[in-house]
Structure 1
Amino acid sequence: MKPRSRSLLTSLVLLTSLTVRTPAHAAPGGCDASEPYVSGQGGYAVYRIPAVVKTRHGTVLAFAEGRRGGAGDTGDIDVVLRRSADDGCTWGPLTVVTAGHGHTRGNPAPVVDPRTGAVVLVTCANDGAVTEAQIMRGEVAPGQGRRVFVQRSWDDGRRFTAPRDITAEVTRPGWRWYATGPGHAVALTRGPHSGRLLIPANHSAAPPAGSRDTGQEARYYGGHALYSDDGGRDWHLGFVDDGYDGVTNANETSAAQLPDGRVYFSSRDQNGTAPGNRLDTYSSDGGRTLDRPYAVQPALNAVPVVQGSVLQSRGWSAPLVFSAPSVPTARRALALWSSADAGHTFTGLGTLMARPAAYSDLVQLAPGTIGVLYETGAKGPYESLEFRRLRLPQRPPAGCHGRDRCLVQGGANLP
């Protein structure tokens, strides 16, 4: 069993959670938080799995899974979208980007093509009557398992093309489970692979022939990436983490391109035997291969087994930012960490609130300003998706060194 560490953020000051409904014509900075999705509204029992990007025209696109039957990962699930023209203060009507029609559509991984401005969305799907566990055990009929699809929008996210199946291009024989992201993907803007759209993902493989490892399918989880060099028309399989040793089980993954051009991958460790719950690695060739195998990131031991998000920010200090819950044994108290050394170490910035919280995704709004879309609620983490705007310091505040709190929210420094 993994040892559980105390939260790295227990000494940080808790921020008050708030929801502000500000008119769409409000001046920039006029709101700190909003709720684009509230479970039970809009025809869906639960909204989960946030993913957010900002388009070339400045529109914030907040994607989610709209789950009609409840919080479960299987069933009648659509990929839905709300758009904001004011950096997340207010939101337009809900639209369905990919309809399940009784089946499961999800794991949205959107990215904006830096060359054309098109919004490219990669998702996964499976038969609504089967579960992840059944798929991982190979207990599903042909056509019921996981498939991978791509869509594009040329009009700032108002309309998307029909889903196009790219499964054959981005899988290997024998793979069972498959999940893109979830959360935003990354467009490379530096180095020889500039323009590449890179989707972090994970998969599971079939156990070796004759294996009796029944009930421990998670040990066959591995990370991988898929990429396109032509704006999402053609897709290729990048690196494949296929050690399957059960020590590190790379699962839901987020990626960011570092200032030196490398790609940083941060993954959930799905019950591997190594201490800690976060894994990371790097790629120096745009995601085609890894510089080293996935390894535990000990600075994030406060994070429970859950998805997290990374973003290479822009602004004064341009840190690599990470978001996730901050209680090792529970999904609650969403927090932010930053790294000034390309992900080798992380420093806690602060917690957003003490309430339950689970999945999250980060987006750059303006230089020095980021947004986070995250699952939260008063009694449980799946009551709503909240969007919070946060300003990173434009210059080092007095005394802001080491583990001091440097996060700014709503125009005020953390105390």
Structure 2
Amino acid sequence: MGGDPRDGSTGDTQRPLETPRDPSETLREHREHLRDPSEIPRDPSGSTGDTSGTPQRVRPRVVREQVRPRVVREQVRPRVVREQVRPRVVREQVRPRVVREQVRPRVVREQVRPRVVWEQVRPRVVREQVRPRVVREQVLWVSGGSLHPPPPPGAAAAVPGLSPPLSPPLSPPLSPPPFRGGVHTFRVPLLAAPAGGALLACAEGRKRSAADVGAKIIACRRSADRGATWGPTQVVADDGWGGDGLSLGALLAPGGGQEVLLLFARCAHPPQACGPPATLLLRSPDGGRSWGPPQNLSDVVGGEVFAPGPGSGIQKQLPPFPGRLVFCGHGTLERDGVSLLLSDDGGHSWHRGGVLPAIPFGAPRRPHDFTPDECQPFELPDGSIAVSIRNQGWYRCRCRMRARSWDGGESLSPASVTLEPQLPDPAVAAGALALPQHGLVLFSNPAHESERVNLTLRWSFDNGTTWWGRGLRVWEGPSGYSTLAAPPPEEEGPAPLVYLIYEKGRSLSTETVSLATISLSGDL
């Protein structure tokens, strides 16, 4: 039977209409296919049984290829990152050793060395504070005084407590001095300030006259309280009654301790009947209370005269050769000039340093010849040694001259010599002292071109290149040789003191030896 075409039926058996599928069930099936792709039916051509577009668009294999982990790892591979920020590269860039070299403490110390900084930025403060004035003055020796009775005629006296005597018995015997039992003249004063608050003053005791040639003693006095009180005179050396005798000399208290060195010459004025010239060193271990046997340095200085100072030796504080002991000495007559004596072991062994000879050397002296004579060394802040020198022949000026050594005293070149017109000088031994802790160089002499009068203290803030004002007049009358000393820096009080020992008189400069205590700031 045929069906009715109007109702859409056919001639076959009529089937009931299928109920439409729920979309959620279809989605669930797709998800199940995604969970296990192997269950999706495939046709021989390799396609899945489900021909719908949805499984093909979300095919797992395609998704895995697009987000394949291996690709991502290659793009952000840790090894590449490590190479870019490799710690070794960073360490090389900020290597501690490089930083240490750039800020090495030694370089910093050289750049901010206290002595250099103080010298560059302290002058104004120092100039305002420096107002020297004499706060105390004492007479230590008066010429013509009595020390001990004279020895019997012909006797040769020795250094007290020492043997053998400094000179053999003299023949024929010589008569006693005009001032029987005393000393005619005290001259050539020296001064040292060992540690512990002591002062040691020494001078020549000329037995017969005020002349340089003749028999002498070396007399010393000691103060344990920086000059407030003084002990009696001690005879450190006595050369008897004949010949040329002893010649001072220089004192040095090295190392800030109690040890004191006393250097002097004998027979330094040939051709006197005295014997070959000699340079002798006495050593005191206790600030001048006692003295050991003399050490003869003639093998070091050779046959030339080496008359120390007069004045003070120094101990270098700065390179080159820190700790080196330096004495300056001079010759005499035709063989004059200045030379240095050096020791690097505390004064146990010595060698000759630089020499500055007179010109012409070995010939009779004439006025205005270049004749460097008595000398005083001091150290400058750059470690060089300056030597203030007596201009014996008034070479080109009636003033001081200065030489300089940059190698610790090993050489002393004529090219280093300069004249100092700001320091008029009547040709005497003068005092010179460097005070690096105050930025000062001090100088003392009779400030006159021809007469030994007007003892003056001068000071300089630029290592002696220029001198401040007219200085401090210590004594306007007759005055001669002088020496300066100061206590060790660690023993300075609130009012720094310096000591000036000098020859002083009313008619003659050789009447007394006087000590002036000077306050640099003017305070008591």
Q: With structure 2 as the length reference, what TM-score do the two structures score?
A: 0.62
Distance of 2:479 and 2:498 partners within structure 1: 18
Q: Using a 3 Å threshold, how does the CA distance of structure 1 residues 234 and 16 change in structure 2: closer, same or farther?
A: closer
Deviation at 1:60, TM superposition (A): 0.3
Q: How does 1:253-272 map to 2 (within 5 A)?
A: 253-272=375-394
The residue identity in structure 2 corresponding to 1:303 is D
Q: Any conservation in 1 of the 2:194–2:256 contact (CA below 8 Å)?
A: no
Q: Any conservation in 2 of the 1:248–1:295 contact (CA below 8 Å)?
A: no
1:331 aligns with 2:464: no
User: Match for residue 351 of structure 1?
Assistant: 473
User: Match for residue 28 of structure 1?
Assistant: none
Distance of 1:260 and 1:91 partners within structure 2: 37
User: Match for residue 180 of structure 1?
Assistant: 308
Q: Using a 3 Å threshold, how does the CA distance of structure 1 residues 116 and 327 change in structure 2: closer, same or farther?
A: closer
The residue identity in structure 1 corresponding to 2:450 is T
Q: How does 1:141-180 map to 2 (within 5 A)?
A: 144-171=275-302, 173=303, 175=304, 177-180=305-308
Deviation at 1:243, TM superposition (A): 5.2
1:295 aligns with 2:399: no
Superposed CA offset, 1:106-150 (max 9, x none)? 212111121764211111011xxxx83xx2xxx456x62421001
Distance of 2:297 and 2:140 partners within structure 1: 30
Q: Any conservation in 2 of the 1:276–1:296 contact (CA below 8 Å)?
A: no
1:114 aligns with 2:235: no
Q: Using a 3 Å threshold, how does the CA distance of structure 1 residues 39 and 278 change in structure 2: closer, same or farther?
A: same
1:225 aligns with 2:340: yes
Distance of 1:145 and 1:110 partners within structure 2: 23
The residue identity in structure 1 corresponding to 2:387 is F
Deviation at 1:346, TM superposition (A): 2.1
The residue identity in structure 2 corresponding to 1:163 is P
Superposed CA offset, 1:151-208 (max 9, x none)? 111112111112221111123x5x3x4310001111112224122111011124xxxx
Deviation at 1:242, TM superposition (A): 2.5
Superposed CA offset, 1:358-404 (max 9, x none)? 000000133631010000011110111100011113xxxxxxxxxxx
User: Match for residue 208 of structure 1?
Assistant: none
Which of the pair is proportionally richer in helix? 2
The residue identity in structure 1 corresponding to 2:139 is E
The residue identity in structure 2 corresponding to 1:269 is N
SS in 2 for 1:327: coil
Deviation at 1:239, TM superposition (A): 0.2
SS in 2 for 1:74: coil
Distance of 1:273 and 1:363 partners within structure 2: 29
1:197 aligns with 2:336: no
1:278 aligns with 2:419: no
Q: Using a 3 Å threshold, how does the CA distance of structure 1 residues 32 and 76 change in structure 2: closer, same or farther?
A: same
Structure 2 regions of 5+ residues with no counterpart? 1-131, 148-181, 361-367
Match of 2:246 among 80, 105, 112: 105
Deviation at 1:37, TM superposition (A): 1.1
Superposed CA offset, 1:77-119 (max 9, x none)? 0111000122223210100112112251121211112176421
Distance of 1:109 and 1:329 partners within structure 2: 25
The residue identity in structure 1 corresponding to 2:505 is G
Determine which structure has greater relative contact order: mean sequence separation of CA pairs < 8 Å that are 6+ residues apart, divided by chain length.
1
Q: What is the RMSD of the two structures over their aligned residues, measured on CA atoms?
A: 2.2
User: Match for residue 26 of structure 1?
Assistant: none
Distance of 2:446 and 2:183 partners within structure 1: 25
- After the TM superposition, which parts of structure 1 deviate over 6 Å for at least 4 consecutive aligned residues? none
Q: Any conservation in 1 of the 2:185–2:209 contact (CA below 8 Å)?
A: yes
The total of aligned residue pairs comes to 341
The residue identity in structure 2 corresponding to 1:360 is S
The residue identity in structure 1 corresponding to 2:325 is L
Structure 1 regions of 5+ residues with no counterpart? 1-14, 18-30, 205-216, 394-407
The residue identity in structure 1 corresponding to 2:227 is G
Q: Any conservation in 2 of the 1:114–1:189 contact (CA below 8 Å)?
A: no
Distance of 1:248 and 1:375 partners within structure 2: 27
1:35 aligns with 2:35: no
User: Match for residue 350 of structure 2?
Assistant: 235
Q: Any conservation in 2 of the 1:264–1:343 contact (CA below 8 Å)?
A: no
SS in 2 for 1:237: strand
SS in 1 for 2:255: coil
1:50 aligns with 2:181: no
User: Match for residue 370 of structure 1?
Assistant: 498
User: Match for residue 230 of structure 2?
Assistant: 91
Distance of 2:192 and 2:373 partners within structure 1: 22
Q: Any conservation in 2 of the 1:250–1:294 contact (CA below 8 Å)?
A: no
The residue identity in structure 1 corresponding to 2:230 is W
Q: With structure 1 as the length reference, what TM-score do the two structures score?
A: 0.77
SS in 2 for 1:238: strand
Distance of 2:257 and 2:192 partners within structure 1: 15
Deviation at 1:16, TM superposition (A): 11
